[in-house]
């Protein structure tokens, strides 16, 4: 997967409720749910559901290097 494909995927999932898994430093893994709110040329922002007014930003290279995994959640009504 290249950066252009990642940008297209991020754009197609903007505004959807998604699940994310971030592999941070020192083997710390953080899982959270949120909505991709803004897309910029180098980064995108995610509004986290479980925290009040919490916004995280990630670069497209985070997805490319698999530091950030995006999992689409299926909500059944």
- pLDDT the model gives residue 76: 45
CATH class of 3-72: mainly beta
- pLDDT the model gives residue 73: 64
- pLDDT the model gives residue 77: 41
* Integer Cα distance of 42 and 63 in angstroms: 12
- pLDDT the model gives residue 51: 65
Cβ 68 vs Cβ 51: under 8 Å: no
- pLDDT the model gives residue 69: 94
- Per-10-residue mean pLDDT of the chain, 77 residues long, equals 92 92 92 94 92 88 94 58
- pLDDT the model gives residue 22: 95
């Amino acid at each position: 997967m290249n950066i252009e494909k990642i940008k297209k995927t991020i754009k197609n999932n903007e505004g959807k409720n998604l699940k994310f898994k971030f592999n941070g430093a020192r083997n710390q893994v953080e899982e959270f749910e949120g909505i991709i709110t803004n897309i910029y040329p180098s980064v995108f922002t995610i509004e986290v559901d479980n925290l009040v007014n919490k916004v995280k930003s990630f670069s497209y290279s985070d997805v490319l290097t698999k530091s950030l995994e995006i999992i689409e959640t299926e909500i059944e009504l």
